[in-house]
Amino acid sequence: MFDAVQGEKKPSVSKVPSLIKRWRSRNKSAENGLVPASGSIPAAAAHNESVAEESPASATAAPRAAPETCTSGTLAADGQEPHCHGTPGRRLTILSLDGGGVRGLIPAVCLEFLEQQLQAFDGADARIADYFDVVAGTSTGGLIATMLTAPDVNKRPLLTATQAKQFYLDKAATIFSTPGIFSSVTSLLGSKYSASPMKKILADTLKDLKVTDSVTDLLITTFDTKTQQPVFFDKQVAQRVPRFNATLQDLCLATTAAPTFFPAHQFDVPDPDQGEGKTHQYNLIDGGVTANNPAEVAILHAVKDLCIGDSPHRGRIPEFKGYRDLLVLSLGTGSSIVSYDAKEVASWGSLSWILNDGQQPIIQMLQNSSAYLVDLDIAIRFQIDEVEENYLRLQTSGIVGDMASVDGSSKKNMQNLVDLSNKLLDEKAKFAKWLSEEKKARAELPASVEEAAQLPRDNATPLPSIATTFV
């Protein structure tokens, strides 16, 4: 078990009020757009301050704080473009994908755009997995993460980002088969949908591939209904602990087993640590119960493996200094805000909290608050270290009507999601440029820890103490 990642010195929290004040003064002139939906304290603050004035149909990302010397999307004071921090080649790159059912089409469209930009920089063979050390996903985000990191026969990514997007367009209606006339009643008595269509699709696509087969570190979140604990599957752990080396099929069925929509998934994984022929049984449901936004889980896993594990990146990062050594892209699936008056809520019984006018209030509230707090926490940490450019959160609040549904698989709704996603994109593609530069810089670094330690690097403050309890 991992108890904590300790830094040498924790930055003073007294910085936080001044940082918030500094952001609010800049927010008046900050521009909207792809470069970031959040990415610093702003993510949450911007939403709180602007939600009353925001048009329900707006897909524009929330304003974000500018760094000291530049404003996102514009030129810096010295005429240079905004830049990320840290030493090129010496950073951990992390991609995090939220849960959200068919709304996974939103990050899929964003990733298609990103991959196309990377191909413009580095050639047609470039793939998303080539640029991220960790690809983490919850629920539908876990499905995308798996598709982008599963290997083909040549040990290259099985699917392109465009193919992952097309997966939603082609398969969503099959996975979310049209419910019957009594669907609201049957969903109270059992799962709304059968897992059979998904099982067949995954069997045809992923076959017998396992976690350790992934072309880069894959991290999938789930929750075990028997132990009542979150279970995180990732390649680095699976290479050391056999019981975490599940098939990718099983992981996708588990992380997407959203309560009331799909049944929980039970499966066994060989566990030689317990004796010859022994297995470990999992009883899993949707990772959104644990972390609908898995960005912080991904960061903790990556840092843990680097500092006290067997990370393959130890050679190029012999001494991890802090947030400037991270480059994080977090993609949401859209924020749907359904408001309830307290007087109305006060009269609700158990059933109304679970199903109310076609909505699932308690599930929506838990997932919205979880994603919000994760974004806020990460944003504050990066801003305290004054490297907020290294964290990019893309999220849209333009989710209304049928688009808010996690199972709205009609062609019209899917096209609306694509159109909404396209409004998030920025032609300047700064993040793609930074990823390309990071990848190229790694080719110039020495392989050994001793040689790498002798290279000059940017000044950095230590990572603040972060505590958690996972393998």
| Bridging pattern class, strands 391-394 and 229-234 | unpaired
Count of Cβ atoms closer than 10 Å to residue 3 Cβ = 11
In whole angstroms, give the CA distance from residue 65 to residue 402: 32
In whole angstroms, give the CA distance from residue 198 to residue 172: 9
Torsion sign (Cα): 401, 407, 413, 414: positive
Catalytic residue, chosen from 286, 305, 407, 426, is 286
Q: Which two tokens stand for residue 355?
A: 């199903």
Length of the chain, in residues:
471
DSSP state of 274: G
Beta bridge partners of 331: 97, 394
Q: Which residues contact 221 (CB under 8 A, 6 or more apart)?
A: 136, 137, 138, 142, 230, 231, 232, 255, 287, 290, 291, 294, 297
In whole angstroms, give the CA distance from residue 67 to residue 82: 9
Q: 286 an active-site residue? A: yes
Catalytic residue, chosen from 139, 214, 370, 397, is 139
Going by C-alpha positions, the residue among 93, 85, 43 that lies closest to residue 67 is 85
Give the DSSP H/E element, type plus range, for residue 441.
Answer: helix 430-442
C-beta of residue 191 within 8 angstroms of C-beta of residue 176: no
Q: Which two tokens stand for residue 113?
A: 């755009």
107: left (phi over 0), alpha (psi -120 to 50) or beta: alpha
In whole angstroms, give the CA distance from residue 453 to residue 421: 42
State the residue for tokens 């050679």.
315
CA distances from 65 to 21, 62, 182, 285 (A): 11, 10, 48, 37
In whole angstroms, give the CA distance from residue 182 to residue 178: 11
Q: 139 an active-site residue? A: yes
C-alpha triplet 391, 394, 395: angle, nearest 5°: 135
Supply the residues annotated as catalytic. 139, 286
